[in-house]
Amino acid sequence: MADSSFKPDRASEDEGTAGGAETEPVADVPESGPTKSQAEPAPAHEPEESPHEPDAHEPDEHGGHGGHGGHGEHHGSESFFMKYLWSTDHKIIAMQYLFTGMGMALIGAFMVYVFRMQLAFPGMSVPGFGHVSPAEYNALVTNHGAIMIFWVAMPVLIAAFGNYLIPLMCGCDDMVFPRINRLSYQIFLLSSIVLIASFFVEGGGFGGAWTAYPPLSAKEQYSLTPLGATLWVIAVALEFVAFLLGGINFITTAMNSRAPGMKMYDIPIVVWMIVVASILFMASVGPLVAGAVMLVFDQTIGTGFFDPDRGGDPILWQHLFWFFGHPEVYVVLLPAVGITGEIMTVFARKKLFAYPVVLYTVFATGILSFFVWAHHQFIAGIDPRMANIFTVTTVLISVPIAEMMFVYIATLWGGSIRLTTPMLWALSFVGEFLIGGVTGIFLGASGTDIYFHDTYFVLAHFHYTFVPIAIIGTFAAVTYWFPKMFGRMMDERLGKIHFWGTIIPFNMIFIPLFVLGAAGDHRRIWSYENFPELARPEYQDLRVLATVSMLVMLGFQLVFFYNFIKSLASGPKAGRNPWQANTLEWTVPSPPPHGNFATLPTVYRGPYEYSVPGRDKDYWPQDAPS
């Protein structure tokens, strides 16, 4: 039964100590103690924060991390620059990624506002921008897509939450390679600066679509943005290097720095998802990095790797791009799926249904993702016999993804559901993503794709997969882990206003675009006034509806930012475990001190032991002795 009146445990405003029963000793622990080896220190599971522990809002004043080694850096007297801009602390680096990604999201949102206004009201002066030329329209569409995928979804879902959660959930003090971690963010920040700079060079920003197909992207006489195109490719390549470095840390830390007692099936599912996503990225990005180098050479020194007039092959770029591009969908999808799983188990008070099956399904999805890329090329002239093969693999990969979604639905069955703001985002992720999956079946069939290719049907399908990932997944994670990250509770009422003000307009934006796509409405057209068949009033009315809905959706994001800032400044203090969850990050102060754990935790069970029969409490932290 759903319970929307759930009140999270909060810390005392005066004392700042952990609130609620989650910090009390487990009532029904046998006196014989744990059955696992006691060679390691006992878990930090105390009735209240000990006086010697670092304060939740102050850095650890020990030379290392939390009393067990660390990196030998003294954080008690650091300058602002060294603490927040040159830090090797995984939590600070996570915040750097998070806030940079949020800043890039604002830029991407402004771009979509401008070009949607041009589509709905062609030729008008867009408030805050002015008249939109065809070249500016192409640049806005191109960079909106690139920013939301490479500079929002990846840094927030993988880098920010991967950095923040993996050490805390695995029970260690930091990433294995903290300086490489710092370098990863610095290269990512450089890539962001290069991308933004590309808008201000002669000719303006690159406008050859986020897929950068040559010869449009390779020849300046076609793209009309010689320097902007090159800077765009360099920015993407730098971003890939940053995430290669980050992936090394995620995989190594999760595999080698887990707390004593944490076996493979004891690892939280979101950690597994981020690790598998990192492996997919590392295995798929190499060919595209090589292709990017070749494309820059074509643009700058006159080579002809992708120029058919000089013996090159523009289709080669499509293969290189999509061999990376389709695993990339799962690179950002899997962390969002993991985030959703963590939230659903907590607020359904249920064990994750079929945890091992989900894990094997993730591995199968990762392998299959390398065999579906050519469904993006059904009309590119590939052999029709190969198109049939890729149709089959595309339909096959929908099976494990659907299985994961239905496992989450099974997790909800019979649970004591609490409709908190994070839970609403998690539930909407499943519902909205299933719409994206169902509509993808049409595009995975080579016959129907011939008609739908490059229409607004593709665009709507893509946004029904990527908005749940990049937007809904991010809001779910932020609202769930905000108390742990910042030590404050967000306003639930404002959170739910923001939720409904985002979800309803989102559907009103993209459902009309399915209709337009089925009518043959081709995307990347600056003004439909040049195409009388597509400029009919009933079609233009749908474009206006989608644009107005987009304005409403963007307007409600102000509610989120107000809630975020207000909660940071004056939200109720959060205890260690306000959601009564089991994973290790909820056993440390909120926010965690430098070094995370006062003593190294020991893990005694899996992360999803909720509503266990015979227990007084409906949760059972991983580090509580049994």
| 3 occurs within a structural domain | no
> Is 547 inside a domain boundary?
yes
pLDDT value, residue 364 = 93
CA-derived radius of gyration, the chain: 25
d(CA 226, CA 133): 18
Low-confidence ranges of the chain (pLDDT < 70): 1-77
Residue 270 within any structural domain of the chain = yes
CB-based contacts of 380-385 (< 8 A; 24+ apart in sequence): 380/315, 380/318, 381/315, 382/315, 384/446
35 lies in some domain = no
How many domains does the chain divide into?
A: 1
What pLDDT score does 47 carry? 38
Whether residue 448 is contained in a domain is answered as yes
486 Cβ contact partners less than 8 Å away, ≥ 6 residues apart: 567, 568, 571, 574, 590, 591
pLDDT in tens, 455-496: 999 999 999 999 999 999 999 999 999 999 999 999 999 999
Taking the C-alpha atoms of 159, 165, 171 and 175 in order, what is their torsion angle to the nearest 10 degrees? 20
Residue 383 makes CB contacts below 8 A (sequence gap 6+) with none
Identify the DSSP state of 10: B
Q: For the whole model, what pTM was predicted?
A: 0.88
Quick one: pLDDT at residue 488? 97
* Dihedral sign, Cα of residue 163, residue 89, residue 41, residue 480: negative
**Is residue 16 in some structural domain?**
no
> In the prediction, which pLDDT does 20 show?
36
Measured CA to CA in angstroms, residue 35 lies from 29, 46, 132, 426 at distances of 12, 20, 69, 36
Residue 11 domain-assigned (yes or no): no
- Summarize pLDDT for 353-389 with one digit per residue, the tens: 999 999 999 999 999 999 999 999 999 988 888 899 9
Structure tokens, 161? 């939450």
**Owning domain of residue 463:** 86-587
pLDDT at 533: 84
The answer to whether position 56 is within a domain reads: no
Domain harbouring 458, CATH code: 1.20.210.10
> Which pLDDT score is estimated for 42?
40
Q: Give CA torsion, residues 392, 397, 402, 408, to 10 deg.
A: 170
